[in-house]
Amino acid sequence: MSATASPHTSLLHLPHRPFGPRRPRLTRLRCLASLAPASSGASPENEDHLIQTLCAHGRLARAAALLQGLPAPTQRTYESLLLAAARAGDTALAAAVHRRLEADPVFCSDPFLSTRLIDAYAALSALPAARQVFDEAPVKNIFVWNAMLKALALADHGEEALACLSDMGRLGVPIDSYSYAHGLKACIAASALHTPASARVREMHAHAIRRGYGLHTHVATTLIDCYAKLGMVSFAEHVFTSMPDRNLVSWSAMIGCYAKNERPGDAIQIFQEMMASDADLVPNSITIVSVLHACAGVNALGQGKVLHAYILRRGFDSLVSVLNALMAMYMKCGCLEIGRYIFNWIGRRRNVVSWNSLISGYGMHGFGRESIQVFEEMIEEGISPSIITFISVLGACSHAGLVEQGKKLFESMVEYNVTPHAEHYACMVDLLGRAGRLVEAVELIQSMRIQPSPQVWGSLLGACRIHGHVEYAEMACSHLFDLEPRNAGNYVLLADIYARAKLQNQVDVLKELLEEHALEKVPGYSWIEVKKKLYSFGSVDNKIPQLEELQALIGEFVTQMKNEGYVPDTRSVLYDIEEEEKERILLGHSEKLAVAFGLINTGSGEVIRITKNLRLCEDCHSVTKFISKFTDREIVVRDVNRFHHFRDGVCSCRDYW
DNA sequence: TTAGGGTTAG
């Protein structure tokens, strides 16, 4: 574990500034209350005003009682009550106002109040009631239609929302930018096998272009978000670059698009472009959270620290969401202790996300017992664990090989009213499988009441690779090839298992399958950040800086290691080639190049931090252990699953990963 | 009157 960066000390001293709407002063309420007690013959104007003030203070029972006696409530009074009911989650009050409205000759057909009623019912998750208001509304203007559309789209009733939109078209209701924005969300929510969401979004995009809304700021921003969610990054980029007016939200959506789609480097770059393009574009907390997420994604600690300073300067450290993201960034960049420090600093404001971050932080660094301890502290504090809490703590047990503790936690889930999802089973199969308890892992899969997800079978396959179990690997693949036929990784893993079992014929069959279906293995990449600049290394990349120098250095280490009895572990090289050639391929693995680059370009006391997009291979693991001892350098490698802290020839994972 | 972007896992 390491913590070379020291957090800004003013983190401790900045005052906590609560955010949120200001409430009216209570003295005004008391004043009004004394003016117009419910029992006296106060004027209706005053009572109207009093109800509104009571609503603003959340005193809904009294406001509702007053409404009963009021002969002619104003539009504003109805609105206040509906907004307050939605805010307080009081469905009964919304229904009471609804009944009163129906009997009101002045407002019973007011479209403004129909809109508010639909909004309120939607916020209260009372969709049938919202639908009823809509169906019975005598006057349906564009606001009423859009409110219904929004209610359906946000409640994930995609098909119904799209039907609503086509009704609008059929009845000649003009479709505006709001309709498009909600309609696009509905496309994502509407999942149908025969019509994929991507086709629907593209169709609605084309429709918006035809009606002149394609470049409207809000519509285009929603388009970026939709394409981001569908993984269609180039479509999002196209919309973004064609927009005539981009505001902070448009930029943030594009940053989020890259961050969500595993292109954190681009997310950071576009954030920097935004900062350079217009002084009026001032990032807000949402922008910051997205960029922190991206920094965490590429292990860009230097960039993350720049953001940390920015957060302190602008007072964003009063927001728990920002601090949670900051803490996660530090832990994902290898600085577990700073993460813990920020968690402590959040103090009593911490929420379930803060706890989950810390639990998974310990887990990914291999500190299973600490992770469980944090989980127990969380329970003691009365926080209800979520689905993610259990994924985090079970994952931690898996990384540390804590089988019995993991089983106990898994069984305890029902006590906390958390139903095991496929993800939890995947963690358990991983935990049992890694520990070599493959039979138990298979029995667990067979006992599942829900359909095993690809992750569940993938965990089993991974375990089979570690323990060389061909039969179960074939079983896992018979499901995986069905569930995700285009995932080359599964074919490669099985080929690897066959190769280790010396079943070269089977390896060749799989390679042919890969070629036949034009499936490509995800190439291995490693990153390193030196002086706040990211350098990436691919094993098939010719544009690597200082390549010859790096190769020479790695060669020297390997020669030295061979003198001490090291034999290169060429099992990860699947090609049927000479052993010598396999060794040459191993020398070019991206993580070795990145480590060598770090050795040459950083100061002698500095920790070398590498990120790898795949699992660390056995040979690189051995070589890195040796380099850490030989050069007396601490090397932290984050692979796709976890952290490896190399120091003095030993890895923190104790060769269990 | 309405709207657009974010936090924790594997």
A18-63 pLDDT per residue, tens: 333 334 444 444 444 443 444 445 677 888 888 889 888 888 889 9
Q: How confident is the model at residue A124 (pLDDT cuts 50, 70, 90)?
A: very high
Asked whether residue A465 is assigned to any structural domain, the reply reads yes
Q: How confident is the model at residue A438 (pLDDT cuts 50, 70, 90)?
A: very high
Examine the domain organization and report whether A533 and A638 are in the same domain: yes
pLDDT at A290 over 80: yes
- In angstroms, the CA of A647 and the C1' of B3 are apart by 53
Asked whether residue A14 is assigned to any structural domain, the reply reads no
Examine the domain organization and report whether A569 and A487 are in the same domain: no
- In angstroms, the CA of A180 and the C1' of B3 are apart by 10
Q: Which of residues 466-525 of A touch strand B (CB under 7 A)?
A: none
Q: How many CB atoms lie within 10 A of CB A398?
A: 27
Examine the domain organization and report whether A504 and A462 are in the same domain: yes
Examine the domain organization and report whether A484 and A590 are in the same domain: no
The residue length of chain A stands at 657
Asked whether residue A290 is assigned to any structural domain, the reply reads no
Structure tokens, A319: 């927001």
Asked whether residue A529 is assigned to any structural domain, the reply reads yes
Examine the domain organization and report whether A558 and A641 are in the same domain: yes
Query: Tell me, what's the pLDDT at A58?
Result: 83
Nearest Cα residue to A7 out of A330, A269, A276: A330
Query: Tell me, what's the pLDDT at A557?
Result: 83
Query: Tell me, what's the pLDDT at A356?
Result: 95
Dmax (CA) for chain A in angstroms is: 102
Q: How many helices (DSSP H) and strands (DSSP E) are in chain A?
A: 33, 6
Query: Tell me, what's the pLDDT at A615?
Result: 84
- In angstroms, the CA of A50 and the C1' of B1 are apart by 22
Query: Tell me, what's the pLDDT at A558?
Result: 84
Higher pLDDT, A657 or A324: A324
Examine the domain organization and report whether A542 and A509 are in the same domain: no
- In angstroms, the CA of A403 and the C1' of B5 are apart by 41
Q: Token pair 């959340």 is at which residue?
A: A58
Asked whether residue A22 is assigned to any structural domain, the reply reads no
pLDDT at A192 over 80: no
pLDDT > 70 in chain A, percent: 91
- In angstroms, the CA of A58 and the C1' of B6 are apart by 28
Higher pLDDT, A27 or A432: A432
Q: Which of residues 163-202 of A touch strand B (CB under 7 A)?
A: 176-178, 181-182, 185
Query: Tell me, what's the pLDDT at A580?
Result: 75
Domain C-terminal end among A470, A494, A516: A516
Nearest Cα residue to A270 out of A289, A257, A285, A286: A257
pLDDT tens digits for range A623-640 = 899 899 989 999 999 988
Examine the domain organization and report whether A543 and A629 are in the same domain: yes
- The rounded Cα A237 to chain-centroid distance in angstroms is 20
Structure tokens, A192: 């149908």
pLDDT tens digits for range A492-541 = 889 889 988 888 889 889 888 888 887 877 778 888 888 878 888 886 55
Domain C-terminal end among A516, A538, A570: A516
Q: Are A461 and A473 in contact (CB under 8 A)?
A: yes
Query: Tell me, what's the pLDDT at A7?
Result: 33
Which protein residue's Cα is closest to nucleotide B4 at C1'?
A218
| Whole-angstrom distance, CA of residue A266 vs CA of residue A288 | 15
Q: Is the CB of A155 under 7 A from strand B?
A: no
Q: If you average pLDDT over residues A120-129, what whole number do you get?
A: 93
H helices within A36-74, ranges in order? 44-56, 60-69
Q: How confident is the model at residue A244 (pLDDT cuts 50, 70, 90)?
A: very high
Q: If you average pLDDT over residues A256-280, what whole number do you get?
A: 88
Examine the domain organization and report whether A617 and A534 are in the same domain: yes
Determine how β-strand A608-612 pairs with β-strand A525-530.
Answer: antiparallel
Query: Tell me, what's the pLDDT at A270?
Result: 92
Q: Is the CB of A115 under 7 A from strand B?
A: yes
Q: Token pair 């964003």 is at which residue?
A: A316
Asked whether residue A248 is assigned to any structural domain, the reply reads no
Count of structural domains within chain A: 2
Structure tokens, A564: 């001490």
Query: Tell me, what's the pLDDT at A605?
Result: 84
| Whole-angstrom distance, CA of residue A129 vs CA of residue A133 | 6
Lowest mean pLDDT among A390-404, A428-442, A545-559: A545-559
**Shortest-distance nucleotide from A354 CA to C1':** B8
- In angstroms, the CA of A149 and the C1' of B4 are apart by 16
Structural domain span for residue A444: 426-516
What average pLDDT does the structure give for chain A?
86
Q: How many CB atoms lie within 10 A of CB A491?
A: 20
Asked whether residue A276 is assigned to any structural domain, the reply reads no
- In angstroms, the CA of A603 and the C1' of B2 are apart by 57
Q: If you average pLDDT over residues A349-367, what whole number do you get?
A: 93
- In angstroms, the CA of A234 and the C1' of B7 are apart by 26
Query: Tell me, what's the pLDDT at A38?
Result: 43
Examine the domain organization and report whether A551 and A634 are in the same domain: yes
Determine how β-strand A608-612 pairs with β-strand A635-638.
Answer: parallel
Examine the domain organization and report whether A498 and A544 are in the same domain: no
| Whole-angstrom distance, CA of residue A398 vs CA of residue A403 | 7
Asked whether residue A214 is assigned to any structural domain, the reply reads no
Residue type, A546: Q
Q: Is the CB of A342 under 7 A from strand B?
A: no
φ, ψ of residue A311 to 5 degrees: the values are -60, -45
Q: Is the CB of A140 under 7 A from strand B?
A: no
Q: Are A50 and A33 in contact (CB under 8 A)?
A: yes
Q: Which of residues 572-601 of A touch strand B (CB under 7 A)?
A: none
Examine the domain organization and report whether A488 and A461 are in the same domain: yes
Q: How many CB atoms lie within 10 A of CB A628?
A: 22
pLDDT at A604 over 80: yes
Examine the domain organization and report whether A510 and A587 are in the same domain: no
**Kindly report the CA angle at A189 between A253 and A249, in degrees rounded to 5?**
15
**Shortest-distance nucleotide from A143 CA to C1':** B2
Query: Tell me, what's the pLDDT at A33?
Result: 42
Domain C-terminal end among A516, A536, A567: A516
Query: Tell me, what's the pLDDT at A12?
Result: 28
Kindly state the DSSP code that residue A384 receives in the 8-state scheme: P
Q: If you average pLDDT over residues A324-352, what whole number do you get?
A: 93
pLDDT at A109 over 90: yes
pLDDT at A118 over 90: yes
Protein-proximal nucleotides of chain B (any atom < 7 Å from a CB): 1-10
- In angstroms, the CA of A321 and the C1' of B6 are apart by 8
Q: Which residues pair with A522 in a beta bridge?
A: none
φ, ψ of residue A293 to 5 degrees: the values are -60, -40
Q: How many CB atoms lie within 10 A of CB A556?
A: 12
pLDDT > 90 in chain A, percent: 53
Q: Which of residues 354-373 of A touch strand B (CB under 7 A)?
A: 356-357, 360-361, 363-364
Q: Is the CB of A274 under 7 A from strand B?
A: no
Which protein residue's Cα is closest to nucleotide B10 at C1'?
A423
Q: How many CB atoms lie within 10 A of CB A21?
A: 5
H helices within A529-632, ranges in order? 547-563, 579-587, 590-601, 618-630
Question: Which of A9-13, A49-53, A385-389, A485-489 is predicted most confidently?
Answer: A385-389
- In angstroms, the CA of A174 and the C1' of B9 are apart by 43
